[in-house]
């Protein structure tokens, strides 16, 4: 047996193995795996080549929308001899001055957020950014948007109900038992959305004039005030069960000279 025959037999053997493995391929698994978020292993041309869709012949090609868009050339008879002449279709009357960019198909789907094991409802957190940075808050729940619903409570350290990014939070080992805590059931992502208001268009005369009238302070939503009071009243009863927890929450976190945050145990 020559070398060519050996190579041909090996290639046919591999081909038969691949054919056997083909039906057992799990459905829904992409042939173009993602290396990282938004980065795929193969490009568009290589991914199309791997699928093999270019080999398929479309049945009833005349009925496809692509064939319907094609402009067919007309044949008319001219002259005394009635000779057939092909009339080519006219080009479009309008040409874009710049190339029209077509958006690529986005197959990205939002996945359910993954939280750290330490981010449990009832955990005491330290805020690292924002208006209330350094404050200690109580984690009420994790939201489907990937954010955390926290509160001070407001009566203790002035931190109201708000959403926080878990990346800017230190979770401590201190916990509060929130079994049977129902005051925060209404708190979700829709609770924190601001109402959309349409701005009135000013005429040209008023546009350049300065507004001498003083702006009235923003009115708080009475429903949100009621939910804040309900959460605070129910949460304070739980906090008072553990001694010195009220003072712990009211004090702010800070580092003194020589303290390294990676050496501290929270």
Over the chain (266 residues), the average pLDDT of each successive run of 10 is 43 43 59 85 86 67 56 73 78 81 84 90 93 94 93 91 94 91 88 82 66 70 90 92 91 89 85
Helices assigned H by DSSP within 37-151:
44-51, 65-69
Strand partners of residue 136: 126
Tell the residue number behind the tokens 């009357």, with chain if given: 93
What pLDDT shows up at residue 135? 94
What is the predicted pLDDT for the residue at 136?
Answer: 94
- Report yes or no: 142 and 119 within 8 Å, Cβ to Cβ: yes
pTM of the predicted model as reported, rounded to 2 decimal places: 0.57
> Which pLDDT does position 69 carry in this prediction?
55
For residue 178, count other CB atoms closer than 10 A to its CB. 20
């Amino acid at each position: 047996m020559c070398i060519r025959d050996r190579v041909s037999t090996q290639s046919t053997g591999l081909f038969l193995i691949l054919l056997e493995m083909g039906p057992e391929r799990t459905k829904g698994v992409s042939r173009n795996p993602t290396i990282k978020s938004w980065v795929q292993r193969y490009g568009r041309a290589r991914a199309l080549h791997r699928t093999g869709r270019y080999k398929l012949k479309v049945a009833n090609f005349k009925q496809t929308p692509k064939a319907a868009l094609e402009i067919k050339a007309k044949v008319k008879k001219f002259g005394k001899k009635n000779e057939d002449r092909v009339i080519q279709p006219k080009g479009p009357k309008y040409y874009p001055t710049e190339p029209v960019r077509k958006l690529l198909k986005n197959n990205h789907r939002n996945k359910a957020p993954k939280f750290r094991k330490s981010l449990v409802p009832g955990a005491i957190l330290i805020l690292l950014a924002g208006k209330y940075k350094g404050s200690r808050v109580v984690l009420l729940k994790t939201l489907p948007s990937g954010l955390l619903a926290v509160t001070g409570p407001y009566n203790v350290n002035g931190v109201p109900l708000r959403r926080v990014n878990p990346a800017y939070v230190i979770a401590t080992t201190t916990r509060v038992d929130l079994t049977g805590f129902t005051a925060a059931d209404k708190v979700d992502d829709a609770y924190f959305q601001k109402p959309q208001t349409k701005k009135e268009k000013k005429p040209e005369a008023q546009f350049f004039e300065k507004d001498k009238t003083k702006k009235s302070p923003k009115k708080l939503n009475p429903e949100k005030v009621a939910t804040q009071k309900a959460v605070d009243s129910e949460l304070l009863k739980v906090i008072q069960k553990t001694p010195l927890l009220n003072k712990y929450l009211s004090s702010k976190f800070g580092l003194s000279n020589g303290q390294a945050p990676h050496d501290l145990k929270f």
